[in-house]
């Protein structure tokens, strides 16, 4: 068994052990018992360095993150969501913060004792993250934050937010700074949103929230770079998570096709069914190769990691949607019943084509890099 296989097995075993806790959570809200369990079982700490409360000797491996999210996506989307949002919310602190900030803010997140959130998107700044309008105005030795964030995973229940705000007006991506904001800060309020899936997500309102200079992550006006660095790390793992979902759907479709009888024979003997499954299996393998190539490129520090991450997320999320759709078609109406595995996966797989950069913005990232390379020749 390879290290990857061992990590995947550990992730699946943890999800199975915590399945009753995951099922007992309130739809659309943070499940603190599940997050605590993921910490106590050691899975969350394995994804954080020791200086940030984890058990890793070094920084996170994008490959390990992909392995965990793929395994959880196949076993439990609830556990996968919890791990994904915790790590995404805390990793700007790990990547851009000091050792003191990492220990103070990310440590409890790594142990499952605190809930984290990544707060980038705004009502008028989703795909165009450089258009952020939430203001960070200088106030003595700190800043006052005023504005709105929306579609923030784990909001409004998070204990710590990594939040991106505008410190220099009219400066585009060069005028954004990253902050750590406590969930109980005065002037911070929020409401839960209810989407197609049971994802914990909400809206935040900041009315003069005071943050000190020691809550700034990295340098003033360099927060956009930190946000993109974080997304470059996480985009391949978004692809990995939906690979797990699609694998579960494909396995269900294969089993159904082998057992379901129509016109006196198993439907797997109809070429219209078997060839669709063959095509989906092939696309899944191609998507998996792209995902892990991108993760390995991140771990090596390759220059083209942004393009590779975009390709991985784009192809994997689009492919997973196709695979789950075909699996439903093979099953027929039974797969549309509320509570069926495929009905659940069909709802869960839609959002990844939008969050952390839509499929359209991934194509834009890829295209820009292609033309940049052409100009370098």
**Is 364 a residue of the active site?**
no
DSSP state, 112? T
CA distance 104 to 51: 10
Helix, strand, coil abundance in the chain, percent, nearest 5: 60, 15, 25
Residues 256-285 have pLDDT tens digits of 999 999 999 999 999 999 999 999 999 999
Percent of the chain with pLDDT over 70: 99
Domains of the chain: 3-114 (1.10.540.10), 118-221 (2.40.110.10), 224-376 (1.20.140.10)
Please state which of the ranges 47-56, 128-137, 182-191 shows the lowest mean pLDDT.
128-137
Distances (CA, A) of 119 to 21, 44, 250, 355: 27, 20, 34, 12
Query: Looking at residue 130, what is its pLDDT?
Result: 82
At 186, phi and psi to the nearest 5? -65, 130
DSSP state, 49? B
Residues 153-164 have pLDDT tens digits of 999 999 999 999
Q: Which of 70, 80, 348, 356 is catalytic?
A: 356
Cβ-proximal residues to 271 (8 Å cutoff; 6+ apart), any chain: none
pTM for the whole structure? 0.94
Q: Is a pLDDT exceeding 60 seen at residue 1?
A: no
Query: Looking at residue 125, what is its pLDDT?
Result: 86
Residues 209-239 have pLDDT tens digits of 999 999 999 999 999 999 999 999 999 999 9
Percent of the chain with pLDDT over 90: 89
């Amino acid at each position: 068994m390879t290290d990857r296989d061992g990590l995947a097995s550990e992730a699946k075993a943890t999800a199975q052990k915590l399945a009753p806790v995951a099922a007992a959570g309130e739809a659309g809200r943070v499940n603190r018992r599940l997050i605590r369990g993921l910490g106590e079982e050691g899975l969350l700490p394995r994804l954080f360095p020791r200086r940030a409360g984890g058990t890793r000797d070094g920084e996170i491996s994008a490959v390990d993150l992909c392995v965990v999210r793929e395994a959880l996506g196949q076993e439990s989307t609830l556990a996968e969501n919890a791990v994904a949002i915790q790590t995404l919310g805390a990793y700007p602190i790990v990547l851009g913060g000091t050792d003191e900030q990492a220990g103070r803010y990310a440590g409890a997140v790594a142990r499952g004792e605190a809930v984290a959130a990544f707060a980038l998107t705004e009502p008028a700044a989703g795909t165009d993250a450089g258009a952020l309008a939430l203001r960070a105005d200088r106030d003595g030795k700190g800043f006052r934050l005023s504005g709105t964030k929306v579609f923030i995973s784990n909001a409004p229940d998070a204990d710590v937010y990594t939040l991106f705000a505008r410190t220099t007006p009219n400066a585009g991506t060069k005028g954004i700074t990253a902050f750590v904001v406590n969930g109980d800060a005065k002037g911070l309020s929020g409401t839960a949103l209810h989407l197609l899936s049971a994802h914990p997500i909400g809206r935040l309102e900041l009315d003069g929230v005071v943050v000190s200079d020691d809550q700034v992550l990295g340098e003033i006006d360099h927060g956009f770079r930190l946000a993109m660095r974080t997304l470059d790390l996480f985009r391949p793992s978004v692809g990995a998570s939906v690979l797990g979902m699609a694998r579960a759907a494909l396995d269900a479709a294969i089993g159904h096709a082998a057992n379901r009888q129509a016109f006196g024979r198993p439907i797997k003997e109809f070429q219209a069914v078997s060839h669709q499954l063959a095509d989906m299996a092939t696309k899944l393998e191609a998507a998996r190769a792209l995902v892990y190539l991108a993760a390995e490129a991140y771990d090596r520090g390759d220059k083209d990691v942004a393009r590779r991450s975009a390709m991985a997320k784009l192809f994997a999320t689009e492919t997973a949607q196709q695979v789950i759709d075909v699996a439903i078609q093979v099953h027929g109406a039974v797969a549309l019943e509320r509570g069926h595995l495929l009905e659940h996966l069909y709802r869960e797989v839609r959002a990844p084509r939008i969050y952390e950069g839509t499929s359209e913005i991934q194509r834009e990232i890829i295209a820009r890099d292609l033309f940049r390379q052409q100009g370098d020749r």
